[in-house]
């Protein structure tokens, strides 16, 4: 959905206008109430800061990818491999829950690009693009539980119910294409842990929730009219329904759910002509399909998501989140992470190259992360050959590309075994604030009045990570 969902098509009475103000719509959203769909396209004039990015593609590796086995090599773990691990440093004693052991990475690492970025050799395609990337090793979250960590990463709240970052972005920036949702989600085959709450509108007007596109079959169910219903007949039906619904809404000012319902009918009608063209990859050249790995068993699924993400942002969608799941490698990390990296490596590299070739990378922010990192230790199973890693909220690697990020740099550091961030340490709320800043939004001004106070993505405020911005 888009900011058009906040526009009243019934001339408000003085009481209704005052009610809308009293409901606490933030200044950015309230200004959109007074604008037409055409003026919404000029949303940059409403931003709090000059925007370095106009849109965002968020690549979510659900399950928690291991920083130690992707972008943060730890030679000390090689020295300590399979020695008994305890957090107090006494390696000869066992933890009360059973012995745990240091686990080295099964992968070799290289320094790539002019920036000398660290990455494991499994990233055979991404290594050519590291100079366009800013790696951040200082991020921390609060939970090692998958659903609560996913909620916190996506909404700022561990317990769900709050707006997703994509909802905040579209709330603040509006849309540049009223025929498409402003916030689109490309989930894995099944929804991630925590479900649709990861892209909820929360307490924002209902129109700002993410629109998931199905991985198989029709991307959106019932998008097209029934057989035998002409577009003229459908338009007349929608106009009558719109008239009746607006009479109903006029007596109930401030009901964002009713406003969203009205807009959803109209948006669905508009999407019938726009969406099929955006989702149809047949118009892409074979060279492009091959670049994304489409048609290859290992890379086809995520390759399609990455290509679709490019097509969506090119058409004006503000925020696209693409999920790749199953990164929860407690066992056989060499096999599991090796296969997972292979499935996303070529598609992500192709996305960065495609955006760059089209002149879009400079103003498109690409984010890569999971909900947390992994531990440097684990219990051993299967005779010591199946080791993996557990969840770690105190150390994780994220990276950013395009959109004004400090490309070609690695910011922050973890300790010698990768157990915790020790340099340029920032809570995920600071990452959220920084992401908004790159998009021209100020977290302290992008607020919505709910439950007695003005709320924001960072919950209680955060700090911009200046080193991440060019």
pLDDT at position 120 over 50: yes
* pLDDT score, position 85: 77
Q: How many CB atoms lie within 10 A of CB 220?
A: 18
pLDDT at position 269 over 90: no
Cα–Cα distance for residue pair 380/468, rounded to 1 Å: 38
CATH top-level class of 3-219+285-468: alpha beta
CA proximity to 41, closest of 174, 180, 207, 183: 174
Cα–Cα distance for residue pair 426/444, rounded to 1 Å: 18
Average pLDDT over residues 238-265: 70
Per residue in 290-308, pLDDT (tens digit) is 999 999 999 999 999 999 9
Question: Which of the pair, 324 or 258, is modelled with greater confidence?
Answer: 324
pTM: 0.82
Q: Residue 60 contacts by C-beta under 8 Å, 6 or more apart in sequence?
A: 153, 154, 192, 321, 322, 323, 324, 369, 370
Q: How many CB atoms lie within 10 A of CB 14?
A: 7
Taking the domains of the chain in order of start, what are their residue ranges? 3-219+285-468
- Distances from the Cα of 344 to the Cα of 104, 122, 279, 401, angstroms: 23, 11, 20, 16
% of residues, the chain, pLDDT over 90: 64
% of residues, the chain, pLDDT over 70: 76
Inter-residue contact 56 to 434 (CB < 8 Å):
no
Cα–Cα distance for residue pair 6/207, rounded to 1 Å: 8
Question: Which of the pair, 264 or 60, is modelled with greater confidence?
Answer: 60
Per residue in 46-96, pLDDT (tens digit) is 799 999 999 999 999 999 999 999 999 999 999 998 888 766 544 444 344
What does the longest C-alpha to C-alpha distance in the chain come to? Answer: 79
CA 3 to chain centre: 20
> What's the distance, Cα to Cα, between the start and end of the chain in Å?
31
């Amino acid at each position: 959905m888009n900011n058009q969902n906040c526009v009243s098509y019934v001339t408000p009475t003085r009481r209704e206008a005052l009610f809308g103000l009293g409901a606490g719509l933030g200044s950015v959203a309230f200004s959109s109430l007074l604008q037409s769909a055409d003026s919404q396209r000029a949303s940059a004039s409403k931003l709090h800061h000059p925007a370095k990015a106009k849109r965002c593609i968020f690549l979510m590796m659900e399950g928690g990818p291991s920083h130690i086995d992707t972008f943060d090599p730890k030679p000390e773990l090689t020295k300590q491999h399979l020695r008994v691990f305890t957090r107090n440093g006494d390696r000869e004693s066992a933890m009360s829950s059973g012995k745990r052991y240091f686990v080295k990475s099964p992968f070799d690492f290289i320094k790539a690009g002019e920036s000398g970025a660290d990455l494991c050799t499994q990233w055979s395609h991404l290594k050519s693009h590291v100079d366009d990337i800013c790696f951040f090793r200082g991020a921390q979250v609060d939970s090692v539980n998958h659903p609560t960590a996913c909620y916190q990463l996506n909404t700022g709240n561990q317990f769900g119910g709050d707006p997703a970052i994509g909802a905040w972005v579209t709330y603040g920036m509006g849309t540049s294409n009223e025929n498409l949702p402003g916030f689109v989600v490309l989930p894995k085959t099944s929804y991630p842990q925590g479900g649709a709450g990861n892209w909820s509108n929360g307490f924002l007007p209902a129109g700002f929730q993410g629109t998931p596109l199905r991985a198989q079959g029709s991307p959106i169910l019932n998008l097209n009219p029934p057989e035998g219903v002409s577009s003229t007949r459908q338009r007349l039906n929608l106009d009558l329904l719109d008239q009746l619904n607006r009479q109903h809404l006029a007596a109930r000012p401030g009901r964002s759910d009713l406003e969203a319902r009205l807009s959803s009918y109209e948006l669905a009608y508009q999407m019938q002509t726009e969406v099929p063209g955006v989702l149809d990859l047949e118009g892409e050249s074979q060279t492009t399909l091959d670049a994304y790995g489409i048609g290859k068993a290992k890379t086809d699924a995520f390759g399609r998501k990455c290509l679709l993400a490019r097509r969506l942002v090119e058409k004006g969608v503000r925020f696209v989140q693409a999920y790749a799941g199953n990164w929860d490698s407690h066992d056989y990390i060499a096999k599991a992470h090796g296969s997972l990296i292979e499935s996303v490596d070529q598609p992500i590299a192709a996305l960065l190259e495609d955006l760059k070739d089209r002149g879009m990378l400079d103003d498109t922010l690409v984010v890569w992360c999971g909900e947390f990192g992994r531990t440097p230790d684990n219990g051993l199973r299967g005779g010591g050959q199946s080791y993996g890693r557990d969840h770690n909220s105190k150390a994780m690697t994220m990276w950013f590309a395009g959109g004004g990020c400090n490309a070609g740099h690695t910011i922050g550091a973890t300790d010698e075994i990768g157990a915790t961030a020790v340099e340029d340490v920032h809570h995920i709320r600071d990452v959220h604030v920084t992401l908004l800043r790159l998009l021209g939004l100020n977290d302290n001004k992008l607020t919505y009045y709910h439950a007695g106070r003005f709320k924001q993505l960072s919950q209680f405020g955060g700090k911009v990570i200046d080193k991440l911005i060019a």
